[in-house]
């Protein structure tokens, strides 16, 4: 799903496509990083000085509900990042220093899931470390 498809998806799901929502989605599509709500808030304040942190959380929750973004706990804080790999089994590699994030597709879902005799409702696979730049 690209940026414009994400915007369309929000509308088709019955939600208003406000300029603030567009801008927040743009942040996630333009940067391969994990973001705290506070960082998103600081980004948004540049264009919307009167925006509240509640609006940020409300929109983050909406995007999560629509599966446009994921969240993760990292160093005792919640971070949000874009869901890049719908319809495949994937994980994420997160740099603990610069907070960059890369997606990795795993090819073991077909062998692993039946072997476990387990109905998967959700999963999370994250590897933490340092990227090559750090």
**Eight-class DSSP state of 77:** E
Judged by CB, which is closer to Zn ion: 7, or 34? 34
**Is residue 102 a contact point for Zn ion (CB under 5 A)?**
no
Which of 104, 106, 120, 134 is close enough to bind Zn ion by CB under 5 A?
134
The number of residues in the chain equals 134
Distance CA 82, CA 114 (A): 28
**Is residue 95 a contact point for Zn ion (CB under 5 A)?**
yes
Q: Maximum distance among all alpha carbons in the chain? A: 53
Question: Given strand 126-129, what is the order of strands in its sheet?
Answer: 101-105, 90-95, 126-129
**Is residue 98 a contact point for Zn ion (CB under 5 A)?**
yes
**Is residue 34 a contact point for Zn ion (CB under 5 A)?**
no
Q: How far apart are CB 99 and Zn ion at their closest, in Å?
A: 7
Site residues (vs Zn ion, CB under 5 A): 95, 97-98, 131, 134
């Amino acid at each position: 799903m690209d940026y414009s498809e994400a915007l369309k998806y929000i509308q088709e799901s019955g939600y208003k496509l406000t300029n603030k929502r567009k801008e927040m989605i743009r942040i996630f599509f333009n940067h391969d990083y994990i973001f705290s709500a506070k960082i998103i808030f600081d980004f948004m304040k540049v264009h919307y000085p009167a925006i509240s942190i509640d609006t940020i959380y409300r929109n983050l929750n909406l995007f999560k509900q629509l599966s446009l973004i994921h969240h993760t706990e990292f160093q005792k804080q919640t971070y949000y990042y874009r869901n890049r790999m719908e319809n495949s089994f994937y994980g994420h590699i997160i740099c603990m220093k610069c907070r960059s994030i890369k997606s990795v597709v795993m090819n073991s879902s077909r062998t692993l899931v039946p072997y476990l005799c387990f109905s998967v409702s959700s999963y999370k696979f994250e590897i933490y470390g340092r990227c090559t730049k750090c």
